Amino acid sequence: MKDGLVFVVGLALIAGLGLLLVRYYNGHASTAAARAADNSAPPKEEARPVPKLKHRVKEAAPKVWEEPVAAVLAPEVVTPVAPAPPPFPTVEQIAVGTEKPRITAMFGNPSIAAVTTDRGHLVETFVYKREKGLGQTFISFEDGRVLSAYSTYAHVRPVGRN
């Protein structure tokens, strides 16, 4: 008798589970079939209720970065400083036979340079000018070495006198 009762209770449990599963799958299967038949209607999502919070969370105020107005209106202007000009060459500073790279290292690039050849030799002439044209130094090179040098100076008349 005890075995019969266990059998009946087990059978009832299995039948109940079977009915629940059939109802569950039939409900979902019918809505899926209806969706497949009507593709134009998008699926409706069920609105889930938002759970109520027990505590309110304060939202932080957005940070505002403040910059001084003076820094925005007047940026710092950096002006490059020109290097000091090389010294003006005088005849006393130039020795005959000095090589051209040494002259350019001492006095910089010339204001005017001319190149020619004479009887198979390379002849170069450098002209160094002072500011405002008050003086000039001419250096002649033959095959990269100083051949000669001379200077000219302008005589300035005082303004207002004849």
* Residue 160: predicted pLDDT: 64
| Phi, psi dihedral angles at 107 (to 5 degrees) | -115, 0
Supply the pLDDT for residue 57: 61
Q: What is the pLDDT of residue 67?
A: 62
Residue 102 pLDDT: 94
In sequence order, which ranges of the chain are alpha helices (DSSP H)? 2-37, 69-73, 100-107
The pLDDT score that the predictor gives to residue 17 is 76
pTM: 0.47
| Whole-angstrom Cα Rg for the chain | 51
Domain boundaries, the chain: 1-32, 91-153
The first and second tokens of residue 132, run together, are 């405002």
Tens of pLDDT, residue by residue over 45-83, are: 667 776 666 666 667 777 776 665 555 555 677 788 888
Q: State the CATH class of domain 91-153.
A: alpha beta
Residue stretches of the chain with pLDDT short of 70: 27-46, 50-58, 65-75, 133, 155-162
Collapsing DSSP states into helix, strand and coil, what is residue 92?
helix
Residue with the two structure tokens 């130094």: 137
